[in-house]
Amino acid sequence: MAARIKKGDLVKAISGDDRGKTGKVLQVLSGAERALVEGLNIVKKHMRKTQDNPQGGVFNKEASIHISNLKKEE
């Protein structure tokens, strides 16, 4: 399937919990037909304490969303 969505495009979510929200594509995962979109599909990531991150804690990050749930904004 040819990817109609590219990195840097402005897209709108057409289904799911984030329906109606728009954001910029950060990365396209062509093998899995998924994309990372800025501000969409936010999940909580629990991080263990490490030398780089001595505080640890819970962080918010974007998870991938299937490209069939995205529409290119004009």
Q: Does residue 2 register a pLDDT over 80?
A: no
Our count of domains for the chain comes to 1
Q: Angle 66-29-34 (CA atoms, 0-180°, nearest 5)?
A: 0
**Measured on CA atoms in the order 25, 16, 47, 28, is the torsion positive or negative?**
negative
| Confidence label for 3 from pLDDT (cuts 50, 70 and 90) | low
Comparing 40 with 1, which gets the higher pLDDT? 40
Comparing 37 with 2, which gets the higher pLDDT? 37
Within a domain: residue 54? yes
| Residue-number span of the structural domain to which 36 is assigned | 10-72
Within a domain: residue 4? no
Domain with residue 54: its CATH number is 2.30.30.30
Three-class DSSP category at 66: strand
Q: Does residue 4 register a pLDDT over 90?
A: no
State the chain's mean pLDDT as an integer.
92
Residue 46 backbone phi and psi in degrees, to 5: -85, 125
